[in-house]
Structure 1
Amino acid sequence: MAAFGHTFPFYAGPKPTFPMDTTLAVIITIFLTALVTFIIILPGIRGKMRLFWLLRVVTSLFIGAVILAVNFSSEWSVGLVSTNTSYKASSSQWISADVGLQIGLRGVNITLTGTPVQQLHETINYNEEFTWQLGENYAEEYARALEKGLPDPVLYLAEKFTPNSPCGLHGQYRLAGHYTSAILWVAFLCWLLANVMLSMPVLVYGGHMLLATGIFQLLGLLFFSMATSLTPPCPLRLGTATLPTHRGPAFWITLTTGLLCVLLGLAMGVAHRMHPHRLKVFFNHSVGENPGLEWNPEEGGLLSPSYQSTAESPEPQDIPLSEASSKACCEEEHPSVPDHAL
């Protein structure tokens, strides 16, 4: 293969890469489609309820999209460095390149981009993924990468996350990924329940589930931080530079969304205690639909029947009757006395 395009042995060349993760692209497309659908039907809502409804829909879709997207994201811990490093084992030549590392809940993604891209008569632009999710064997994927003859920087970083590496990165990140992903799935289920309850006259329980959504997201972040700090950091030296890692966008956006859910859940609890009627108006729940039912905060926000005592009941009102009916009533109350009784 070295005779075709001056590529290294056992590897036909860089594979074409999509500009972004296809899973994230699908998730974003689904939620954007739902948002556009809701916006199309927005003109059919009257008055101020149109603004309230739009605010609820946008906030809810944003929270759900974030929970799903970060679960499949590879940017929980990221690092990027520009360095001069060796290119492949069969050559002593060095290249100038940007090396990137993205660590997610399901594996690592390693990028190698030459500066410039065309060096040594080759196009240096690699994007390789190594996963440790259930059903995948990281060691086998690393072995296949060795057979392909991937560049030295990619193999060096991938080797640091193998189960037999003395760095211990595989164990801590694999553990953190599995349990953090499970906690985020629980948060997603709480988000679904919150949407169902907020569409029913049980707003306080919807607020509780929204609060639980935020708490589970924060618990996932706490577990990820604790699990990834079990071992001391392992230096990643690439040629003349060291690759530093830090918390990525997925971590910080999950923190922001978790705090947002907690604040919204607490705000709904306070509004339920202080202004339950205004809360119902915001969620477009009519208070006066059934006169026999009224809002009872002590019952957790459920519509419960309330009965009035006899003392609180309004006085009976006289109902006018027709003339014939009046005469009949008078005859029943005062029966006529026969003439022979006089």
Structure 2
Amino acid sequence: MAAFGHTFPFYADSKTTFPMDTTSAIIIIIFLTVLVTFIIILPGIRGKMRLFWLLRVVTSLFIGAVILAVNFSSEWSVGQVSTNTSYKAFSSAWISADIGLQVGLRGVNITITGTPVQQLNETINYNEEFTWRLGKNYAEEYAKALEKGLPDPVLYLAEKFTPRSPCGLHHQYRVAGYYASATLWVAFLCWLLANVMFSMPVLVYGGHMLLATGIFQLLALLFYSVGTSLTPPCPLRLGTAVLHTHRGPAFWITLIIGVMCVLLGLAMVVAHRMQPHRVKAFFNQNVEEDHMLEWSPEEEGLPSPHYRSMAESPEPQDIALSEATSSKPGCEEKHPGEPDCAL
């Protein structure tokens, strides 16, 4: 024990924590980079179109960033409690700590922070992740955590989500996460199609795809809510307190953005029917070019012939009948064998 600096065996040093999820940070940086690029070219747009264009870009990028960020977020169901609990195996020492649980679509994240951080001659600050996404085995990750010797609260909460746990949390959260994640990917594809159609003279279909984007986000929330409520909640007792989970920020942000996409899509469809010229002006599209693309009633079927009126037709030329008939016999008399006379 002296070789480990007065710490118990099999316990490594505490893991340094990043202030936020690295995947969410990467997504935010990418979309902010795209936004800055669009802002740089903003001075090249004249008049009121500059404000309309900036509003469209900011709104669209915000919706796309939220759809991707919540898909990789670990805050769909969260819970936190301050308690006094045991810290390590083979020890009767207790600590005072804040313990947090974040459940995402691909796994769980468990944090434990001592209050104060320095207790028992060491720093108590852990942030551990256990995933069940494709290519990962939750049971193997939990076995590695046992070998590593993580603190008791972390192992206790991680054990509740193992496949063999009687709580059944692993099955319901894993299935709900799979369906919700797949539906969010469909919503992201609808968002991409909406942006493509908004850049073309098919604005009404862009409104339909924006409406579909919101509907698929709401369906993801429905799948997650139904999947996680199939079994009664399992009590999570940590020392002298019980940890309760509730819907996290990712759930409510998805709900807000989903409702916003539905309202914007409906408003787009209604405005296109009532005020199509203003909608085209908002999207900086030329109305004259759009009229050229519209089909007239005659063009819906087979092409119909167009006849000239008497005023448009050229003046007829008067040719004497005697001149037209007298040329043929003369040709036959002079040159009866030449092919030109047959004409």
Task: Output the amino acid matched with 2:275.
Answer: H
SS of the equivalent of 1:135 reads coil
Matches for 1:214-233 after TM superposition, within 5 Å: 214-233=214-233
Q: Which has the higher helix share?
A: 2
Structure 1 residues 242 and 316: CA distance shift in structure 2, 3 A: farther
Matches for 1:195-206 after TM superposition, within 5 Å: 195-206=195-206
Structure 1 residues 150 and 271: CA distance shift in structure 2, 3 A: same
For 1:143, the equivalent position in structure 2 comes to: 143
Q: Is 1:173 aligned to residue 163 of structure 2?
A: no
Deviation at 1:2, TM superposition (A): 5.7
Q: What CA deviation, in whole Å up to 9, does each residue of 1:82-107 have, x standing for no partner?
A: 00001111110100000000000000
For 2:83, the equivalent position in structure 1 comes to: 83
For 2:207, the equivalent position in structure 1 comes to: 207
Structure 2: which 5+ residue stretches go unaligned? Answer: 300-308, 321-343
Task: Output the amino acid matched with 2:93.
Answer: Q
Structure 1: which 5+ residue stretches go unaligned? Answer: 296-302, 310-314, 319-328, 336-342
1:162/1:170 contact within 8 Å kept: yes
Structure 1 residues 307 and 158: CA distance shift in structure 2, 3 A: closer
SS of the equivalent of 2:167 reads coil
2:161/2:170 contact within 8 Å kept: yes
Deviation at 1:307, TM superposition (A): 7.0
For 1:99, the equivalent position in structure 2 comes to: 99
Q: Is 1:260 aligned to residue 260 of structure 2?
A: yes
For 1:299, the equivalent position in structure 2 comes to: none
1:197/1:203 contact within 8 Å kept: yes
Task: Output the amino acid matched with 2:291.
Answer: E
Aligned length, in residue pairs: 312
SS of the equivalent of 1:128 reads strand
Q: What CA deviation, in whole Å up to 9, does each residue of 1:17-75 have, x standing for no partner?
A: 21111111110000000011111111110111001000100000000000000000000
Matches for 1:21-60 after TM superposition, within 5 Å: 21-60=21-60
1:306 to 285, 296, 318: 296
2:16/2:125 contact within 8 Å kept: no
For 1:71, the equivalent position in structure 2 comes to: 71
Q: CA RMSD in A?
A: 2.4
For 1:277, the equivalent position in structure 2 comes to: 277
Matches for 1:176-195 after TM superposition, within 5 Å: 176-195=176-195
TM-score by length of structure 1 reads 0.86
Q: What CA deviation, in whole Å up to 9, does each residue of 1:255-291 have, x standing for no partner?
A: 00000100000000100110111111111111023xx
1:96/1:114 contact within 8 Å kept: yes
Question: Percent identity among equivalent residues?
Answer: 81
TM-score by length of structure 2 reads 0.86
Q: What CA deviation, in whole Å up to 9, does each residue of 1:291-314 have, x standing for no partner?
A: xx628xxxxxxx3233799xxxxx
Deviation at 1:151, TM superposition (A): 0.5
Structure 1 residues 2 and 126: CA distance shift in structure 2, 3 A: farther
1:9/1:148 contact within 8 Å kept: no
Larger-Rg structure: 2
For 2:291, the equivalent position in structure 1 comes to: 294
